[in-house]
A and B are shown apart, each in its own frame.
Chain A
């Protein structure tokens, strides 16, 4: 499949006599050039660093928030309208605000990534708690657990498979958003590479090289999160899936 795709790509560029759009060979040479200049690794590290911070903050806020809002229906009724209004606002729309608040620094994209990933995590966690099986709760109450023990030992554990699914979705979104944020708010990272290659000389071979790297790293991130689903503590939650 991959070989067929690359062949068709190359032929399409040649037949259309495009001056700007690169062939797979151009892109490969572009990637080599970026490696030789030491830019590729530098930009990947910059992007992954921002995603790591924004995403970790989103997990640290989203999971506890989701557990509390899922459990206490009063708190849910108070906060849910707020979440539902903020959630549909694209993180891209926050870019001017982020620059206003944080300037052109790492904090701006980290904030945007946080915003983009905190909602999927919170919403998945709330749904998991609200749909938790009553029998686990009753068994826990029966053994006389304190509220803290109930959250740590039963509610969190029962919801973990669904929380991990929310985390997978959120990480995908975070990786989408870092590219957009870097195009505007900073001057390093894979998103900056793409916009800079275009602006500074129509280097479309480097534009596509940046896109290829974004795709590959996104794939690796998803494979890493999928490893979380293999732990014994959560494997029960994925049984009965088609594969």
Chain B
């Protein structure tokens, strides 16, 4: 892919198994690219290695072979220009909302910091909760704090690992709408892992579909639908059903497509 911000090249990952000499292949020759400003979702069956892939791309894990290039340079470790939003919520419980959102701001003056913090707290809709501690907030609000913390650090890329996975259905829908709004105004590149096909189709410009383990990219689906996307529009339903089919699932419960 030309002018890709993130290039994943021939990436393979094997973990040592329980017995000596045994290896578990998690990722097998993964190739993909993400263009600047794009919103890309990775979907795949549970346990297929999506999160492992994202952790390698972010520099938290080292691949067995292959490489990740960001802006043409190989990734060796995590970098503040690329912030990770964690599935299990990585906001610091010992800091309040204001302090959490400002965590990545270390070089600014105090007034500059406060201005940036206020802007992003406002953007994620947490105005009035500046002095609250994470344990006093709901799961959805904590995930908003983490998104604000990521945005405040002004990264080029945001990696999101099933960030809404632990939230209830209605909160999840609201979070998706807000994330698209924020992405449109902030123009970040987002790589988003989810097991939820509907979520992927609502959010993404492109959906990378992964196979079961050892996982590789099975198919790339471009979702060229206008936003906001309506859950009952024919275009949305068509993309959604296409991905369901590609993943070998029928929409009728209890039936498996050949």
A183 CB–B CB distance under 8 Å: no
| Closest CB in chain B relative to A58 CB, distance in Å | 23
Measured in the bound complex, the distance between the Cα atoms of B78 and A232 in whole Å is: 30
Flag if A138 contacts B84 (CB, 8 Å): yes
Flag if A138 contacts B94 (CB, 8 Å): no
Query: What residues on B are CB-neighbors of A154 within 8 Å?
Result: 92
Flag if B92 contacts A239 (CB, 8 Å): no
Contact of B78 among A142, A158, A234, A235 (CB under 8 A): A142
Q: For chain A residues 223-243, which have a beta carbon within 8 Å of chain B?
A: 232-237, 239
Flag if B84 contacts A236 (CB, 8 Å): no
| Closest CB in chain B relative to A155 CB, distance in Å | 11
Measured in the bound complex, the distance between the Cα atoms of B93 and A239 in whole Å is: 11
A143 touching B90 in the complex, CB below 8 Å, given contacts A138-B60, A235-B135, A239-B135 = no
A144 CB–B CB distance under 8 Å: yes
| Closest CB in chain B relative to A64 CB, distance in Å | 19
Q: For chain A residues 132-158, which have a beta carbon within 8 Å of chain B?
A: 133, 135-136, 138-139, 141-144, 154, 157-158
Flag if B134 contacts A141 (CB, 8 Å): no
Measured in the bound complex, the distance between the Cα atoms of B80 and A42 in whole Å is: 58
Flag if A135 contacts B90 (CB, 8 Å): yes
Q: For chain B residues 66-98, which have a beta carbon within 8 Å of chain A?
A: 77-80, 82-84, 86, 88-96
| Closest CB in chain A relative to B190 CB, distance in Å | 15
A160 CB–B CB distance under 8 Å: yes
Flag if A236 contacts B153 (CB, 8 Å): no
| Closest CB in chain B relative to A61 CB, distance in Å | 23
B37 CB–A CB distance under 8 Å: no
Flag if B133 contacts A232 (CB, 8 Å): yes
Flag if B94 contacts A233 (CB, 8 Å): yes
* Interface of chain B, main secondary structure: loop
Query: What residues on A are CB-neighbors of B86 within 8 Å?
Result: 135, 138-139
B244 CB–A CB distance under 8 Å: no
Q: For chain A residues 79-112, which have a beta carbon within 8 Å of chain B?
A: none
Query: What residues on A are CB-neighbors of B104 within 8 Å?
Result: 143
Measured in the bound complex, the distance between the Cα atoms of B92 and A236 in whole Å is: 10
Flag if A160 contacts B94 (CB, 8 Å): yes
Flag if A136 contacts B153 (CB, 8 Å): no
Number of A-B contacts (CB under 8 A): 56
Measured in the bound complex, the distance between the Cα atoms of B96 and A144 in whole Å is: 20
| Closest CB in chain B relative to A145 CB, distance in Å | 8
Flag if B94 contacts A157 (CB, 8 Å): yes
- Which chain A residue has the least Cβ–Cβ distance from B58? A142
| Closest CB in chain B relative to A157 CB, distance in Å | 4
Flag if B133 contacts A236 (CB, 8 Å): yes
Query: What residues on B are CB-neighbors of A235 within 8 Å?
Result: 133, 135
| Closest CB in chain A relative to B39 CB, distance in Å | 20
Max chain A C-beta neighbours (<10 A), residue from B80, B91, B93, B134: B93
Measured in the bound complex, the distance between the Cα atoms of B83 and A103 in whole Å is: 59
- Which chain B residue has the least Cβ–Cβ distance from A233? B94
Contact of A142 among B84, B94, B135 (CB under 8 A): B84
Flag if A234 contacts B89 (CB, 8 Å): no
Query: What residues on B are CB-neighbors of A232 within 8 Å?
Result: 96, 133
Query: What residues on A are CB-neighbors of B135 within 8 Å?
Result: 235-236, 239
Q: For chain B residues 136-170, which have a beta carbon within 8 Å of chain A?
A: 153
Flag if B133 contacts A141 (CB, 8 Å): no
B129 CB–A CB distance under 8 Å: no
Measured in the bound complex, the distance between the Cα atoms of B80 and A239 in whole Å is: 31
Query: What residues on A are CB-neighbors of B80 within 8 Å?
Result: 142-144
- Which chain A residue has the least Cβ–Cβ distance from B134? A236
Measured in the bound complex, the distance between the Cα atoms of B100 and A143 in whole Å is: 12
Query: What residues on B are CB-neighbors of A239 within 8 Å?
Result: 135
A135 touching B88 in the complex, CB below 8 Å, given contacts A143-B104, A143-B153, A236-B133 = yes
Q: For chain B residues 99-117, which have a beta carbon within 8 Å of chain A?
A: 103-104, 106
Flag if A143 contacts B103 (CB, 8 Å): yes
| Closest CB in chain B relative to A142 CB, distance in Å | 4
Flag if B94 contacts A236 (CB, 8 Å): yes
8 A-B contacts, Cβ less than 8 Å apart?
A138-B60, A139-B92, A141-B78, A142-B79, A143-B153, A233-B94, A235-B133, A236-B94
A136-B90, A160-B94, A232-B96 given; name 20 further pairs at CB < 8 Å: A135-B86, A135-B88, A136-B92, A138-B60, A139-B84, A141-B60, A141-B77, A141-B78, A142-B78, A142-B80, A143-B83, A154-B92, A157-B95, A158-B94, A232-B133, A235-B133, A235-B135, A236-B94, A236-B133, A236-B134
Chain B: residues with CB nearer than 8 A to chain A? 58, 60, 77-80, 82-84, 86, 88-96, 103-104, 106, 133-135, 153
